[in-house]
Amino acid sequence: DAGVTQSPTHLIKTRGQQVTLRCSPKSGHDTVSWYQQALGQGPQFIFQYYEEEERQRGNFPDRFSGHQFPNYSSELNVNALLLGDSALYLCASRLGRLAGIETQYFGPGTRLLVL
Amino acid sequence: KQEVTQIPAALSVPEGENLVLNCSFTDSAIYNLQWFRQDPGKGLTSLLLIQSSQREQTSGRLNASLDKSSGRSTLYIAASQPGDSATYLCAVVNDYKLSFGAGTTVTVRA
């Protein structure tokens, strides 16, 4: 079992550019969540996808958007990048029907640096 | 809005000492509480999950307690080792999302 995988591992962009981050959930998991972790802080919830729909969204602007594919993998897109978007982006997966019972499994993250 | 606080922010202990990490949260309507470990620049590794109906959970040298009514959880790590050096994050689950504290960074000195 490969666990949760994310790509790329590191990324450098300039202000105003757009970026796409990718996540493959743990085998058998159908729910994917994205988190942003700034340096020295805890992760902040961006949004969650289930059955290819955005089910919940945190306090992030519309510049942050996502998608879930039929195979449950997911993408996070960020438009018009700002310096403050520099962070570690974490993807987490779980089995939707076990929500609240089973732990979420996190990937290794994508480190985004915006210059 | 759920607020999660972890105290202390950093902790340094000699090897062999027991560790006590604290977590508090403001909204007691949680599904469960989880403790995670994060090594520098890495993702999160789940350590323990406590269901809202449980009072504690144990795994090896780790023991976590939960007092939902007072909004508190404590993670105990017995007989600390240098390999325990990491940042420990607690997170509460409500509305199916995790709300995290800022973490406690632990250094275990050999």
**Residue at token pair 């306090």:** A59
Q: Is B100 on the interface with A (CB under 8 A)?
A: yes
Decide if pLDDT at A111 tops 70: yes
Closest residue of A to B31, CA-based? Answer: A100
pLDDT in tens, B14-61: 999 999 999 999 988 888 999 999 998 889 999 999 988 999 999 999
Decide if pLDDT at B96 tops 80: no
- Cβ-Cβ contacts under 8 Å, B88 against chain A: none
- d(CA A72, CA A92) in angstroms, rounded, equals 12
Note whether A107 contacts B32, CB cutoff 8 Å: no
Largest distance between two CA atoms of chain B? 42
Q: How many CB atoms lie within 10 A of CB A88?
A: 20
- d(CA B13, CA B28) in angstroms, rounded, equals 31
| Residue A98 binned pLDDT confidence (cut-offs 50, 70, 90) | low
Amino acid A73: pLDDT: 97
> Minimal Cα–Cα distance from B14 to chain A, Å?
23
- Span B74-84, mean pLDDT? 97
Amino acid A96: pLDDT: 73
**Residue at token pair 């076990």:** A98
Amino acid B28: pLDDT: 86
Residue B59 CA: distances (Å) to CA of B49, B92, B97? 10, 19, 24
Amino acid A103: pLDDT: 79
- d(CA B62, CA B32) in angstroms, rounded, equals 17
> Minimal Cα–Cα distance from B28 to chain A, Å?
14
Tokens standing for A95? Answer: 């089995």
- Span A39-67, mean pLDDT? 94
Which candidate, B52, B34, B50, places its Cα nearest to that of B88?
B34
- Cβ-Cβ contacts under 8 Å, A88 against chain B: 41
Specify the higher pLDDT residue, A104 or B24: B24
> Minimal Cα–Cα distance from B66 to chain A, Å?
15
| Residue A100 binned pLDDT confidence (cut-offs 50, 70, 90) | low
pLDDT in tens, A11-52: 999 999 999 999 999 998 999 999 999 999 999 999 999 989
DSSP class of residue A107 equals -
Which candidate, B6, B22, B27, places its Cα nearest to that of B94?
B27
Decide if pLDDT at A99 tops 90: no
> Minimal Cα–Cα distance from B41 to chain A, Å?
8
Chain B segment 12-41 residues within 8 A of A by beta carbon are 31-32, 34, 36, 41
Note whether A101 contacts B51, CB cutoff 8 Å: yes
Give the closest of A4, A44, A56 to B95, CB-based.
A56
Concatenated DSSP letters for B40-91?
TT--EEEEEEEETT-SEEEETTEEEEEETTTTEEEEEE-S--GGG-EEEEEE
